[in-house]
Structure 1
Amino acid sequence: MRVLVAPDKFRGTLSAAQAAAAVATGWARSRPDDVVEQVPLADGGEGTVDALVAALGGERRRVRVAGPLGDPVEATFGLVHRAGGALGVVEMAEASGLALVSESRRDPLRASTRGTGDLILAATRAGASEVLVCIGGSATTDGGAGMAAALGIALLDAGGLPVRPGGEGLLDLARIDAGGLDRRVRRLRVQAACDVDNPLTGPHGAAYVFGPQKGASPQEVLLLDRALAHLAAVIHRDLGIDVRALPGAGAAGGLGAGLVAFLGARLRRGVEVVMDAVGLPARLERSDLVITGEGALDASSLRGKVPSGVLETARAAGVPVLVLCGRTDVRPEGVPVHTLVERFGVERAMSDARRALEDLAAEVAERLPSGG
């Protein structure tokens, strides 16, 4: 039997690659004649670089970039060499993430995505002809203006000077000049992995929904929403692109809008981008069983996360699915779910997750009929 092992990370205990290896090891213990293929996955958020590098045999590279408030930070991007050109994988949270700024230093009016632009440029200089930008977990609400500036696009005030970094500076924006966009970036194909469909502005937009968690006061939320609306109007006038009602434009403080407007990016559901990148449908075609899972299987797992993506794709291919996870409070209809907590208890599930997952996989494999 051919078994495809395609989990997400078990947050706090195992990366997706470690989880896949543990399942494969345990499975082989009970069914050594099965052919087991490992393909760690991610949903386009944290862990996507690691998952794609592990699944596709790429490499991680570290560079120094501008952090959300301008301080230098060390950030990682992935580079996967493949036929037709290398793929760069950028997690914007590495450069512009909220986790990089202590709570006492959070400044939603000034935080900038410049470091994300630095990462995209680094991936391009390393040879990437396509870049996947994973957007989420941001400290910023600048509509991708900082990213654009890092890539050579001029966002100018009425006096012809660059506007100040951050969302507040957008209120001074008078015109956008894209003539200086780096020539390598002009040829770049860009996809954005995005798991929210919020518009750029308004009550469901970037400032109103996500601004408070970045430290914005009610007054600052109003200011940032007005600044993003002004950015969208100038983009429409100067670049001829309308991002005002675009689903997903409000992701990561409006970075979704910026990627579309400045780089011609395509916004897609994160797990779909990752599954396409690793060729999951083709891998399923040659599999008899697929095993997926993550640390906590809950209602959100069935809405745009790795387990739901694998379930949908496997059902379309007619391949049965098993779920191995840390714990669960949902059970998809017709899908066996086995959990570390139910089998071994919370303490071992957290402190000895790798070996516990190996043992669980071995037990599940042993109970399968010998024919598959």
Structure 2
Amino acid sequence: MKIVIAPDSFKETMSAATVAHTMSQAVRSVWPHADCVEVPVADGGEGTTDSLIDALGGTREYVDTVDALGRPRTATYGWIPGQRLAVLEVAQAVGIEHIAPNERRPRQSGTAGVGLMLTQILTRQPRHLIIGLGGSATNDGGWGMCHALGVRAYTGDNTPIDPYAPLDLTHATRIDTSHIDPAWADVTITLACDVTNPLTGPTGATAVFGPQKGVQPKDIDAFDEALTQWGSLLDANGIAPVTTLPGAGAAGGLGAAFMGCLGATASPGVDTVLDAVNLDAHLSDADLVLTGEGSIDSQTRFGKTPWGVMQRARAHGIPTIAFAGNVAHDLDDLCDNGFTAIVPTVREVCDLPTALATARESLYESVVMMCRILNAASNVAGSGAVDSAEKPTGDVTLKGGRSC
């Protein structure tokens, strides 16, 4: 029996690779001859780099860059040499977690750190670049990143715009993109992005996400005006008009800059990752899929990893069982729409620190119990072991004639 194990991380406890390996060990403790294929995945957010490195055999690279306030920091990205694929999470440079709450000053913040990382990645001559958008402390429309890549913006009297003064973009009348390295034209850039907001307007970057980055209510209109002007220049000088495209407002407008200056395309985060790890190829002859993440609730169906994995498995006619440390009540909708079962892994009443400390052991025991239940169900439905291909069909039929 072939089982594809494609989980996300369990936040604060286990990486996706650790989760996948733990599940695999648990399965083999009951079914020693099972073919367990471990495919750690993510949804395009935190952990995407780690998942793709683990799944595709890459390395973690370290580069010098700056944070949203221009302070030096060391950041990382993933490099998969066999595919000449680089994986970058913008939060590695300009993530809000690097800026203390009392330091958040979007008027003086920028995305130059992302551009510095990109410049160093380009020296490796990548063919494909996956960008994890999200978690930024910035609201500059990606202007700082573009500046670091060679773009210049000027006022009507030819005064250059400071890359750490996003509100000055209100006065920009022209941009010069001629100094962007032409090698970027040979790189396919995919934005792993579940945000569909445009750059500006009532559902744009500033109105929706600005306050959590420190944009004060009195400054929302000013930021929106600056990004509107910046967006008009991007649309006029870029590869194609982009500022109204879904995802242009992601990461404080970085989406628009990637699209306008580098020709990037946006794709749902989990689909981007599942395509990169070639999950469909692994599923082609699988009998069962196991997935999971730290928490499963009503939001899971909106772009979270277990939902994306289940949808792919469902297209192949393969049942999917999900595991999570925290399982919300009333998840009938998730089971009615594809999951065979959703299994909580917390096995006793305890506080959160205890649950986190014992997460791996609890996951292992829960997967073992699932396998034993499937064995018992198999014996009720007919005779023989789970890995017998000739027993009668029961309540849950595994692909390839195996059932339980």
Same fold (TM > 0.5): yes
Bigger Rg, which one = 2
Which position in structure 1 is the counterpart of 2:140?
Answer: 142
5 Å-filtered alignment, 1:48-87, equals 48-82=48-82, 85-87=83-85
Report the more deviating stretch, 149-158 or 250-259.
Answer: 149-158
Q: Note if contact 2:147-2:163 (Cα within 8 Å) is conserved in structure 1.
A: no
Q: Tell me which moved more, 317-326 or 153-162.
A: 153-162
1:155 to partner: Cα distance: 2.2
The residue number in structure 2 matching 1:106 is 104
2:239 and 2:86 map into 1 onto residues whose CA distance is 28
How big is the shift at 1:340? 1.4
Report whether the alignment pairs 1:344 with 2:348: yes
- C-alpha offsets along residues 339-364 of structure 1, whole Å, 9 cap, x if unaligned? 112x3344453111112211211121
Query: What does the per-residue CA deviation read over 1:292-325, in whole Å, with 9 as the maximum and x for residues that have no partner?
Result: 0100001111111101101111111101111111
Q: Which moved more, 1:271-280 or 1:154-163?
A: 154-163
SS of 2:139's partner is: coil
- Superposition deviation, residue 241 in structure 1: 2.7
User: Matches of 1:319 and 1:252 in 2, distance apart?
Assistant: 35
Superposed CA RMSD in Å reads 1.5
Q: Which runs of 5+ in 2 are unaligned?
A: 376-384, 387-401
Deviations 1:155-201 (A, max 9, x none): 23334343112421312322111110023223221110111111111
Match of 1:289 in 2: 288
Partner-residue secondary structure (3-state), 2:178: helix
Q: Deviations over 1:248-285 (max 9, x none)?
A: 11111011111100000001100000000000111111
CA distance in 2, matches of 1:41, 1:169: 40
- Paired residues in the alignment total 369
Q: Does the 8 Å contact 1:40/1:52 carry over to 2? A: yes
**Stretches of structure 1 lacking an aligned partner (at least 5 in a row):** none
Output the CA distance in 2 between the equivalents of 1:159 and 1:65: 32
Partner of 1:302: helix, strand, or coil?
A: coil
Higher relative contact order (CA 8 A, sep 6+): 1
Alpha-carbon distance between aligned partners in 2 of 1:346 and 1:64, rounded to the nearest angstrom: 42
TM-score (norm 1): 0.96
Aligned mate of 1:129, from 124, 127, 130: 127
Determine the C-alpha separation between the residues in 2 that align with 1:335 and 1:50.
Answer: 28
CA contact (8 A) 1:120 1:131 kept: no
Helix, strand or coil for the counterpart of 1:274?
helix
**Deviation digits for residues 37-87 of structure 1 (CA, Å, limit 9, x no counterpart):** 1011111010000000000000000111021011111100000122xx400
Distance of 1:345 and 1:159 partners within structure 2: 68
CA contact (8 A) 1:3 1:290 kept: yes
Mapped to 1, the partners of 2:197 and 2:260 lie a distance apart of: 16
After the TM superposition, which of the residue ranges 103-112 and 269-278 deviates more from structure 2?
103-112
